Structure 1
Amino acid sequence: MNSININRRRFLQTASASLALSTFGPQGLELLFRDKPWRVGLIGSGWYGKNDVFRLIQVAPVEVISVCDPDQRMLQEAASLISQRQKSGNTPRTYTDYREMLAEKDLDIVLIGSPDHWHALQAIEAMKTGAHVYLQKPISVDVLEGEAIVAATKKYNKVVQVGTQRKSTPHLIDAKKQVVDAGLLGKISHVEMCCYFHMRANGNPPVEPVPDFFDYEMWTGPAPMRPYDGLPHTRWWRTFMEYGNGIVGDMCVHMLDTVRWMLDLGWPQRISSQGGIYVQKGGKSTISDTQSAVFEYPELNCVWQHRSWGAPTDPEYPWAFKLFGEHGTLAGSTMQADFTPYKEGDAIHFDVLYEKEKYPEDVTEDRIELNAAPATRLHMLDFLNAIENNSKPVADIMDGHISTASCILANTSMAVGRPLVYDPQKMIVVDDSEATALLQRPYRDPWNHPMPDKI
């Protein structure tokens, strides 16, 4: 028996393999076990960048040949860890400027795990150089960036898989099939989504010199240049609207995307949001600590709520969605799902899948989300299948754009103090010139904002 068949047999013993086989069929699965490895590059070698590349290495023949990060220490650490994990044992080339890495034009796939304010420029440039892209969510920091990525995907005919991997989460796939698709909920006329994690970093670190190993100018790129007050990598950059869209852009995008997938929803008809910094007023953070948003669909409101203080309303579901139907409720999170009928029928519980025995290296990996690892592996397999078959992945760029832009528009609604109606054909907020002007953030020189009509 050759090595490919041995690897295939071992792969087929895993839970994610069973899901892959049921999703792609034998032909699609066979394509994943090819003699020639995919040539992979990673932009952003922090926590989730490494997480994504390690999951890809686990499920497919790949050769990570280049890694980019403006932090030399983190870059070298990532290159070393990748050499230990990939089959060849080769150490990837390292770059601090993604443009130099992409200029080699030797990549089949680029994984992008950089901060949100870089996603659009890096994804578009990667596609220009011939690569397919695995792009972490949210896909953009403003709406027109997202429109530009969509335009680039069409122009260059590339597959973009967005890192909204709830669509590949085994227990949520089961819940969708057995509850939603089976009609157990009946008509669904209300959805609640929430995040009550205390995840809003907030403090007053002093301004300090930029260390020699860190290119702060390159890290900042098109975003506003803040005074340097320490390495921004772990949670710190997410506390600033300068680089992202707060907890709505970080956490609501996952749950809204999941709800849209489960219920087959497109663009919301109208979006409104209220909130601000109500409790955690000390410190430098510029993102809201309290916020609600309503995404309106015909006879259905999807309501979001987050607080970075206090206790969750339901301790079993602190970051979650709940679908309220005429016959019952489905609650879902990254950890579990529960169907509760109102009268007739049995309750159904869905548990998270772990694959620690199948992938023992997961257990010792730094900061790994063990509950999310199987979902990311399946998401990677779906991505590769879409590349091989020139088809849409489960988290296609358009769906990623709708979910991302809807969350951005919620923040815009909060800023202008009124509901918004977005017209995706005209790329304007209907009858609202002030909000339309906010669809594009200003870029810091010398960076140029990508525009969909100029791709």
Structure 2
Amino acid sequence: MSKLPQTTRRRFLQSAVAAGAASVMLPRTHRALGYQSPNDRPVLATIGLRNQGWAITQKTFKFADFAALADVDSKVLAANVEKTQQKQGKKPDAYKDYRQVLDRKDIDAVMVATPDHWHTKIVIEAMQAGKDVYCEKPLTLTIAEGKLIEKAVQATGRVFQVGTMQRTESGLRFLQAVALVKHGRIGTVQKVTCGIGGMPASPVIPVAPVPEELDWEFWLGPAPKVPYRALPEMRTGYGGGVPLYSNAHYSFRNWHEYSGGKLTDWGAHHVDIACWAIGASATGPSKVTPVEYTLACEYKDGYPVVDDRYNVATSFTIRAAMPNNVEMLITSAGDNGILFEGTEGRFFVNRGRIAGSPVDALKDKPLPEGAIEEVYGGPVSENHSANFIECMKSRKQPISDVWTHNRMLEICHLSNIAMRLGREITWDPAKREIVGDERANSFLARESRQGYEIKV
């Protein structure tokens, strides 16, 4: 795998991290033909529409017009075309094949919310087609994919926002948390615990007929070719309307073939904030240790021995040795959120609350004026989509840039590798390689299925 020139990557990272990834200027060249003036409303398309795909599209109607939608499930596609028409008063064009979206010169940017195993191929091709990109988290399926995306961003000069929206939204609680740590309100940071919840195991899931509306071959894409599996029971509530147990739709997160389980799902949110707060957005751990864990099925040599049930970790506690002697724990136990502990106090933050003595002390000793904006790199945007649109106009990288996202996501990917192999991993954050473990290093990349290769 070719690497970015080290001096260039370091210089880019230093400038991005110093200003919350909001001050890196990109050239105005190679922009889509339909978006020439910063005063125009950009024209967007969404690729992948279930759940988060619709969520990020809906947040963006205020700032952009959607000319097209794409999904491999015809029912999902039709429903979202109708909803989009109702929201914006104009019907978007509908496509099963995302490449037809990328071929359109009038589309300035794409929002990508497919299953994780499709992210890298689509976003790289989108940038090569001259589109800016907003991609849902986790950005990648492997660490090697992250490096490919970094290379493509630098080569094309596109604006790229990752959907770790806790950096912008959630009532600014996470921004306040980062500011508290950076202003020394808990003293020297000693420990950070990221509670991200666990995943369910499954019964045996039999091979089943592919739903008529689903293009299963195209859904699999770069992943290995396997039969569709599902049980009759249907999921209800969020993500409902599909089988509760399957190897597609909402359940893709339960399979290492398509995702990284809870580590790259909620981990991509909370580990991101933790790394930002402790100043580790341009580096990584020295060791990743699987303290305790349970996988959803039996493994041998890092791979599941069966293919008819979920295979990601159901429960876990992972320890990452971070710079400056900070211990990071990533666990399925306890409340969902982040606990920061230092020599002078501790506090907890999640999407609903921020609590602890350092927070209580703000009544008498508030943070300095502008502390939140200093963390964010400027005025906080209305929402994460707004930050993306603002950066499309300014040609700066957004608040959730590719480089810092990949660095924290490496911790999550390494955690999964450590559990799959059942051993501690030593990591070189400068070389971004596992030290002295050839077998573990083989998990840093994954071969794409023939016909779905990623080309940079």
* Fold similarity call, TM over 0.5: yes
Q: Which residue of 1 is the match for residue 317 of structure 2?
A: 292
* 2:101 maps to 1:106: no
- Report the equivalent of 2:222: 222
- Is this contact kept in 2: 1:57–1:85, CA < 8 A? yes
Alpha-carbon distance between aligned partners in 2 of 1:79 and 1:114, rounded to the nearest angstrom: 16
* 1:185 and 1:326 in contact (8 A); partners too: yes
- The residue type paired with residue 378 of structure 1 is N
Q: Is 1:187 aligned with 2:188?
A: yes
For residues 262-320 of structure 1, give each alpha carbon's deviation from its aligned partner in whole angstroms, at most 9, with x where no partner exists. 2221322322225443689998111111112122122101111115xxxx3xxxxx211
Write the letter of the residue equivalent to 2:183.
A
What is the CA distance between 1:166 and its match in structure 2? 1.1
2:49 corresponds in structure 1 to: 45
Query: In the alignment, which of 372, 394, 401 is matched to residue 396 of structure 1?
Result: 401
Identity of aligned residues (%): 24
C-alpha distance in 1 between matches for 2:107 and 2:297: 44
> Matched residues in 2 for 1:346 and 1:152: separation?
43
Any conservation in 1 of the 2:201–2:296 contact (CA below 8 Å)? no
Determine the C-alpha separation between the residues in 1 that align with 2:179 and 2:53. Answer: 33
- What are the superposed Cα offsets for residues 106-154 of structure 1, whole Å, 9 maximum, x if unpaired? 3211000000000100110110111111111111101111110111010
CA contact (8 A) 1:270 1:419 kept: yes
Query: Alignment partner of 1:403: what SS?
Result: helix
Alpha-carbon distance in structure 2 between the residues aligned to 1:39 and 1:346: 43
Matches within 5 A, 1:40-439: 40-58=44-62, 60=63, 62-86=64-88, 89-169=89-169, 170-173=171-174, 175-176=176-177, 179-196=180-197, 199-200=199-200, 202-230=202-230, 234-265=249-280, 266-277=283-294, 284-297=309-322, 298-306=324-332, 312=334, 318-341=335-358, 345=361, 378-423=383-428, 426-439=431-444
Q: Equivalent residue of 2:60, what SS? A: helix
| Pair 201,77 (structure 1): closer, same or farther in 2 beyond 3 Å | farther
Deviation at 1:193, TM superposition (A): 1.1
Aligned residues: 382
Structure 1 residue runs of 5 or longer lacking an equivalent are 1-22, 25-30, 313-317, 351-374
Q: Secondary structure at the match of 1:399?
A: helix
Contact 1:67–1:95, Cα closer than 8 Å, also in 2: yes
CA contact (8 A) 2:295 2:312 kept: no
CA distance in 2, matches of 1:278, 1:415: 8
Alpha-carbon deviation of 1:174?
5.2
Helix, strand or coil at the partner of 1:438:
helix
Distance 1:188 1:397, change over 3 A: same
**Is the contact made by 1:66 and 1:93 (CA closer than 8 Å) also made in structure 2?**
yes
Specify whether residues 157 and 73 from structure 1 end up closer, same or farther in structure 2 by C-alpha distance, changes over 3 A only.
Answer: same
Write the distance in 1 (CA, Å) between the matches of 2:205 and 2:437: 39
Corresponding residue number in structure 1 for 2:18: none
Compute the displacement of 1:173 (Å): 4.5
Q: What is residue 237 of structure 2 aligned with on the other side?
A: none
Amino acid paired to 2:250 = R
More moved, 389-398 vs 188-197: 188-197
CA distance in 1, matches of 2:433, 2:151: 16
Write the letter of the residue equivalent to 2:256.
M
Do 1:143 and 1:439's aligned partners in 2 also have CA atoms closer than 8 Å? yes
CA RMSD of aligned residues (A): 2.9
Q: Which amino acid aligns with 1:403?
A: M
Residues 191 and 300 in structure 1, CA contact (< 8 A), matched pair in contact too: yes
Pair 377,71 (structure 1): closer, same or farther in 2 beyond 3 Å: farther
- CA distance in structure 2 between the aligned counterparts of 1:276 and 1:190, rounded to whole angstroms: 20
CA shift for structure 1 position 179 = 2.4
1: CA distance between counterparts of 2:382 and 2:205? Answer: 37
CA positional deviation for 1:380: 1.3
Q: Which amino acid aligns with 2:151?
A: A
Shift of 1:236: 1.5
Structure 2 match to 1:355: none
Give 1:400 shift.
1.2
Report how far residue 438 of structure 1 moved: 1.2
* Letter of the 1:294 counterpart: R
Is the Cα–Cα contact under 8 Å of residues 107 and 130 in structure 1 kept in the other structure? no
TM-superposition CA deviations, 1:390-423 (whole Å, max 9, x none): 2221110111111222211111122233333444
Contact 2:222/2:448 (<8 A) preserved: yes
Q: Which runs of 5+ in 2 are unaligned?
A: 1-21, 24-34, 231-241, 299-305, 367-379
1:34: Cα distance to partner? 6.2
Letter in 2 for 1:397: V
Equivalent position SS for 1:289? strand
**Structure 1 residues 196 and 97: alpha-carbon distance in aligned structure 2, compared to 1, 3 A threshold:** same
SS across alignment from 2:107:
coil
1:165, 1:376 within 8 Å by CA — same for their partners in 2? Answer: no
Supply the distance in 2 between the matched residues of 1:104 and 1:278 (Cα, whole angstroms): 44
CA distance in 1, matches of 2:76, 2:262: 25
Kept in 2: contact 1:41–1:65 (CA 8 A)? yes
Give CA-to-partner distance per residue, 1:56-100, whole Å, 9 cap, x none. Answer: 113x1x1101111000010011111011112xx111111111112
Query: How far, CA to CA, are the matches of 1:132 and 1:160 in structure 2?
Result: 6
- Using the size of structure 1 for normalisation, the TM-score is 0.77
